[in-house]
Structure 1
Amino acid sequence: MASHLTTWVIAGSALAVVLSTGRAKAQDPPPGLPNAATAPTGASDASAQAEAYFMRGQEYFKKEEYLEAYEQYRKSFAHEKTMDAMAAMASSLRQLGRYDEALDRYEEVLREFADLPAASRAGVTKGIEDARKRVGTLEITGDTPAGALLLIDGHVRAKLPLSEPLRVTMGTRQISVQKEGFEPITATAEVKPGQKSAVELRAPSRKGRLSVSEKHGWALEVEVDGQRLGVTPWEGLVDPGEHEVRLRGIVSLEALAECTAPEAGAGGIVTAREGAEMESPVQTATVTLYEVTPVVLSAQDVDASLRVESTPGGAHVIIDGRGVGRTPWEGRLPLGEHAIEVRAAGFLLAKQAVRLERRKQREVQVVLEREPDPEGERRTRNIAATVGYGVGAAGLGLLAVTGGLALKEVGEVRSRCGGTSCPQSEREKLDEAGDLGTLATVGLVVGAVGVAGGTAALFVLQPSGGDRRPGAPGGGARPAGGVAWRAGVGLGRFEIEGRF
């Protein structure tokens, strides 16, 4: 501390020699202030302390030990906020060459003490004019973390972010931004009197800080983006951006029952080795540069396991709305009810609810059903109808041909026999006609079966999903009543559709 003060005294003395214009004489008290002999006397303890520090400051000021004088005046002001102490601090800073801080103090005197005596006001005004000649403004851009302290030449000047450019003493200034838990951000700026200078800060370490704790104070392992980094409570530097945070570990049954946190031993807090397995849900934390992002997670008892298998394998498993992997899948989950979904392309979604109990494993077997294929079913229906009606048409055709021939033969025989007995040759004609009649009957039966089968195919083999083609029957709201039919014939296709 002594070497630090000596450095400031030397620096202040050097600046005082270089910037001698407008400087107060060493043997005189700060401009506008009463001599030590006329300093005010207070009755209270605070006033007495303030007066004692003020008097010591006057002695240091006379000896040109301006840094020590400033410290005494500052302590005096801390005990009692007086115009004398405030103005004396401004004068000491001015003598030290810290014109930017002196200017702030001088202006504060005028704001806080409107009834300032004329002599004191004149001294303060002179100090303001002198300081302004040696001050420029500095604009800070780039990495300016909120809440960080801004230091100029080692002196705290403000807290970021700045609402307006900062007044800074002319010359080469060393800038430092400091925030607890992070590396300082440093830069150099050349400040010219009466001008605005700009400096862009760049953090040497592009990091943010993540602080992770468990709601009940339990000591659990911290996983960030799948990597184990420590034990709660944990804090560390991570890259800015989104990170997935989760807790895992074991909590003793006594601590779990009483909901108590572990006590720290000589080696700090350690995780339990026996007890209930605990795990927290995954939480996404957004970390920003040079900021502390707190994450508080609540671990749950996951001392139960679940295995999910499916036919076909490789299906997606969703538990409580969150995807966990593909079948076969196995993992630990909190106790209680869980909603399981299994899905695969081309198959219907399967849902099932399971209840997990401590230290028990549940196995779920899922057989997925294929999704309906309306187009495939429609093609099958049309093919079946086409075949049925084709067979029916062939049977009816056979009926028409053979029946016609049979009727023709019978008619000719009747015309030749004339109602009397017929010769043997005509009996053979009648037998041929009978055979044709039999074929006609077969054709009738085949035709009827074919037509019935085709019609049944149209009505029975309906697509599961319904026909949703634009303009197709069933594709939209059905009419309240009436019958609609559509028939079509094409290459390899005979189709009749109906809607009631």
Structure 2
Amino acid sequence: MTGWIVALGLLGARAEAEPPDRAAQIDVSGDETEARAHFERGVAHFDQQEYREALEEFRRSLAHKKTRNAMGYAASCLKQLGQYDDALEQYEAMRREYPKMPAKTEVTVAADMAELANLVGTLVLTGDTPAGASLFIDDRLRGRLPLDKPLRVSAGSRAVRVEKEGFAPITMAVEVKAGRANVAELVARSRKGRLRVSERHNWPLEIEIDGKKTGTVTPWEGLVDPGEHTVRLHGFLDAEALLACEVPAGKIGERREAARQGAKMESGVESVSVRLYDVTEVVLGAEDQDASLEVESAPTGARLWIDGKEAGQTPWQGRLPLGEHTIEVRAKGYIRARQDVKLERRKEREVTVALDKVPREPGFWTAEFWTARKVGATAAYGAGVLGLGVFAVSGALALNTSADLKEACPGGLCPRERAGQKERAHALGVTALGGLIVGGAGAVAGTVVLLAVRPGGSEQRVRAAGTAWKVGLGLGGPSVEASF
């Protein structure tokens, strides 16, 4: 067989490459005796074509002392076992260790290496390649990821397995072709990362991930989906634990029960990035939240801001960190109000905020405007109605008196006894005219009051045209003419 022939060539048939004395093949010094014994047993196994046992003996020999012959035999055993990549690497190590070998040995080694080069290919891993994971090819450990260079692998069907503690293994089969670069794209079936959460004082607080309760307490470690996550701690602690700043170790049930009693504790929200098949650790510090605040407002239902962040609507009740806080209350149509409050341990604080309305000028479409205008318009229109009533009554009397004078004064000539009646008709006509003037003025004034003012302080006045009045008294009675 080829490996066996190469081994003989390396030894120079145990005569040409080394002195004929077998003992001369290994210098006797220190633990060289052990190296020589393992080497002899390896040769015996090799002669019986028991290559796996021979390889083990040659490796033990090399562990005691490196020799060219033991390295050559080991390479030949690897080749016979089909581990062509390891055999090639063994020959390369042999050349580095012994750069000046006998000519015949060098020719034999070069020929064997050329043959092995045609039986191996290189393998590059892509895809899901978690850092620090162990890489196995056909159940043989070949290193840890990431690889610093392409891996030399024997041609044929190879089983690739990537293992990392705490995660499911990633496996795949790849067909390695000799003399070329081969790519294996790994795909993890369980796409998870590992998250470790702890509290800096070792307090057992409940864990909330992405706003959802997990039902577990710190410290905790578990699998989560890769990507961005938020983590928050909350719970309760008794006074002794707070003063000691730690919680003695105990059973899980006891620690979980401790997280439900005592003073309220809470941490801030921490954002963490979890990578596939990687471990991310987050340590949070919780603070005493055992101070409650209740905020009410007038009007109710106003928007509430606490320390610059919107908290909801009033009435509002919740717990906040101890110390100074600024609350702000806002409502539409009201002036916003701000107030500083100080929260103390285990004390409830109630705050009531009364908001003032925003002052504004009366506008055309506001109730205030119409209320004011209605009063003025009503008074003006009332005076107008009264004036028109006077006009109607006085005008009717004046007309009747004029009709009597017309009958008693044919041709416009009235007897002396009718002079008083004539004066009364004239007075009634003047009164009717005054009532008409007052009635018209009231109607115009009421209209002006309703329409004169517009929003924003601008005014639009309603102007009546020039009014001409003409009063006369004749045989037909008094007459009134008006133009607007």
TM range (shorter): 0.5 to 0.7
Residue in 2 that maps onto 1:380: 366
Distance 1:311 1:167, change over 3 A: farther
Q: Does structure 2 conserve the Cα–Cα contact (< 8 Å) formed by 1:211 and 1:293?
A: yes
Distance 1:192 1:447, change over 3 A: same
The one-letter amino acid of 2:323's match is: G
Q: Within 2, Cα distance between the matches of 1:425 and 1:205?
A: 121
Matches within 5 A, 1:13-412: 20-23=1-4, 37-39=24-26, 55=36, 58-59=39-40, 61-62=42-43, 63-64=45-46, 65-69=53-57, 71-72=59-60, 75=63, 93-107=78-92, 116-117=100-101, 119=103, 122=107, 125-162=110-147, 165-225=150-210, 226-259=212-245, 261-265=246-250, 270=255, 272=258, 275-309=262-296, 318-320=305-307, 322=309, 328-340=315-327, 352-365=339-352, 379-380=365-366, 384=370, 391=377
Q: TM-score, normalised by structure 2?
A: 0.66
Q: Within 2, Cα distance between the matches of 1:181 and 1:24?
A: 48
Q: Within 2, Cα distance between the matches of 1:263 and 1:36?
A: 67
- Tell whether 2:433 aligns with 1:433: no
- 1:437 aligned counterpart, secondary structure: helix
Deviation at 1:300, TM superposition (A): 0.9
Deviations 1:432-469 (A, max 9, x none): 42464366457657756864675566456xxxxxxxxx
Deviation at 1:145, TM superposition (A): 2.0
The one-letter amino acid of 1:297's match is: L
Deviations 1:262-319 (A, max 9, x none): 3434769835466532111222333232121222211111111233456776666554
Q: TM-score, normalised by structure 1?
A: 0.64
Deviation at 1:130, TM superposition (A): 3.0
In structure 1, the gaps of 5 or more residues are: 1-19, 43-47, 410-421, 461-484, 490-500
Q: Within 2, Cα distance between the matches of 1:284 and 1:275?
A: 28
Q: Does structure 1 conserve the Cα–Cα contact (< 8 Å) formed by 2:453 and 2:459?
A: no
Distance 1:27 1:118, change over 3 A: closer
Deviations 1:394-433 (A, max 9, x none): 87x969x98xx9xxx9xxxxxxxxxxxx844234423542
Deviation at 1:104, TM superposition (A): 3.7
Identity %: 44
Deviation at 1:206, TM superposition (A): 2.4
Q: Within 1, Cα distance between the matches of 2:97 and 2:80?
A: 23
Deviation at 1:37, TM superposition (A): 3.7
In structure 2, the gaps of 5 or more residues are: 47-52, 396-418, 463-484
After superposition, the CA RMSD in angstroms is 5.2
- 2:131 aligned counterpart, secondary structure: coil
Deviation at 1:369, TM superposition (A): 7.9
Deviation at 1:28, TM superposition (A): 7.8
The one-letter amino acid of 1:284's match is: S
Distance 1:332 1:459, change over 3 A: closer
Q: Does structure 2 conserve the Cα–Cα contact (< 8 Å) formed by 1:391 and 1:447?
A: no
Q: Within 2, Cα distance between the matches of 1:22 and 1:156?
A: 24
Distance 1:313 1:29, change over 3 A: farther
Q: Does structure 2 conserve the Cα–Cα contact (< 8 Å) formed by 1:86 and 1:105?
A: yes
Residue in 2 that maps onto 1:469: none
- 2:204 aligned counterpart, secondary structure: coil
Deviation at 1:183, TM superposition (A): 1.2
Q: Does structure 1 conserve the Cα–Cα contact (< 8 Å) formed by 2:194 and 2:274?
A: yes
Larger radius of gyration: 2
Q: Within 2, Cα distance between the matches of 1:280 and 1:155?
A: 47
Distance 1:386 1:340, change over 3 A: closer
Distance 1:317 1:87, change over 3 A: farther
Deviation at 1:128, TM superposition (A): 2.9
- Which range moved further: 436-445 or 179-188? 436-445
Distance 1:234 1:325, change over 3 A: farther
Deviation at 1:151, TM superposition (A): 0.8
